[in-house]
């Protein structure tokens, strides 16, 4: 079944033949992205996620459950009496780092805080503050959207005209 982009229900986004749409079906709401932001800042415990994101408890519980279902976060015990758990990024979750960093960079550039960026990214190896960039893995050239052409994979139909 081919889904027309203007008729797609939110619950059907994951069925589109589009990597962006399928990704958004898992991480495409504000609460989920804020949970991921905190996970990358080493937040681990439910109460800390709630305090730092401002998410209502039922919404936070739902987003954590969904991220675990998709193996982006895993729950690990850290105490008992009562049983206590923390949430950690999996390798699949860590692969979302460029997404979160890109949102951070876009926000710093286009929606800046009047007092300056709230956080800086420091490269551990050299100690320098860095700005995230996308580079070609073959030649190392920094890229923008104007430098990249989107083509259909060899075994796929052509990319539809937009």
* Secondary structure (DSSP) of 24-68: HHHH-SHHHHHHHHHHHTT--BHHHHHHHH---HHHHHHHHHHHH
At residue 31, the pLDDT reads 98
65 and 82 fall within a common domain: yes
pLDDT at 8: 57
Give me the pLDDT at residue 9, please: 65
> Does 91 share its domain with 102?
no
Cβ atoms of 72 and 93 closer than 8 Å? yes
Q: Domain span at residue 58?
A: 1-95
> Mind listing the pLDDT tens digit for each residue in 92-119?
999 999 999 999 999 999 999 999 999 9
Q: Judge if 16 and 34 occupy the same domain.
A: yes
User: What residues pair up with 85 in beta bridges, in sequence order?
Assistant: 77
CA–CA dist 15, 21 (Å, integer): 8
pTM for the whole thing? 0.84
State the average pLDDT over residues 135-146. Answer: 94
d(CA 85, CA 145): 41
> 10 with 84, same domain?
yes
Do 84 and 128 share a structural domain?
A: no
């Amino acid at each position: 079944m081919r889904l027309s982009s203007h008729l797609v229900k939110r619950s059907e986004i994951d069925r589109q033949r589009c990597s962006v749409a399928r990704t958004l079906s898992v991480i495409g709401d504000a609460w989920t992205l804020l949970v991921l932001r905190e996970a990358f800042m080493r937040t681990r415990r439910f109460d800390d996620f709630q305090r730092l994101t401002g998410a209502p408890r039922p919404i936070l519980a739902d987003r954590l459950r969904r991220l675990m279902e998709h193996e982006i976060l895993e729950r690990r015990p850290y105490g008992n009496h009562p049983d206590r758990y923390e949430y950690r990024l999996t390798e699949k979750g860590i692969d979302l780092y460029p997404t979160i960093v890109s949102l951070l960079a876009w926000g710093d550039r286009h929606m800046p805080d009047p007092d300056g960026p709230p956080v800086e990214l420091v490269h551990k190896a050299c100690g320098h503050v860095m700005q995230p960039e996308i580079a070609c893995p073959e030649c190392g050239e920094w890229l923008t959207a104007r430098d990249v052409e989107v083509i259909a994979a060899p075994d796929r139909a052509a990319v539809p005209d937009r």
